[in-house]
Amino acid sequence: MTDKSRTSIDEEMQRAERDAEPQRMEDEQSPLTGETIEEEALEPIDGELEGQDIDPEADVLAARVAELEDQLKASEEKSLRAAAEAQNVRRRSDQEVEKARKFALEKFVKELLPVVDSLEKALESMQEDASETHREGVSMTLKMQVDALARFGVEQLDPHGEPFDPQYHEAMTMVPNPDVEPNTVIDVMQKGYLLNGRLVRPAMVVVSKAAE
């Protein structure tokens, strides 16, 4: 081989090496810059995050949990309302039973009141010549009758000298009387009675009025 040929071959090899050098440098810089690697590495991560954000199963479960919470809240409110209603019914029943117990004797008491009235009138109308034994017998009978009624919650109304109360008194007439205030009970024609605080019969009274 001539010197000229050898020189040509060397030149060709040197050119080939120079052409290859930039490619090797670019390959060597790639790991240093990391741009291509980072982008390729981030792409699947971004894809995974996007997949997590749009997970349909998670949305379905969240909706189901919210629905169950609403149902539980509604059930609790319904139970509270039912318990309150049951308590109200029980309270009303107790009140009705108590009322029935207190006022079961009302009709019976009304039937006994004329007997008491008769005994009072008999005692008032006794003449002075009546025997003490007779007077005492009527008085004791009246007291026993009134005491028996009191044991069952019957209270007597004798409002003589009290202000007139239309809730408990029935005015039979009004009489001018300058000695007392107007609307004062000056005479009781028939006593009234209460049964456990409830009016059984109003007192029949005479009421004062201002002098004309």
Is residue 156 a contact partner of residue 188, using CB atoms and an 8 Å limit? no
* 156-190 residue pLDDT tens: 999 999 999 999 999 999 999 988 999 999 999 99
Nearest in space to 177 (alpha carbons), one of 152, 211, 144, 150? 211
Distances (CA, A) of 155 to 22, 117, 195: 125, 14, 6
pLDDT at residue 8 in the model: 65
| Domain spans of the chain, in order of start | 3-54, 105-209
pLDDT at residue 22 in the model: 52
Is residue 172 a contact partner of residue 206, using CB atoms and an 8 Å limit? yes
pLDDT at residue 9 in the model: 64
Sign of the dihedral defined by the CA atoms of residues 129, 116, 160, 187, in that order: negative
* 92-124 residue pLDDT tens: 888 888 777 778 888 899 999 999 999 999 888
Residue 59 CB coordination number (10 Å): 10
Local confidence band at 36 (pLDDT 50, 70, 90 cut-offs): very low
CATH numeric code, 105-209: 2.30.22.10
pLDDT at residue 34 in the model: 46
pLDDT at residue 33 in the model: 47
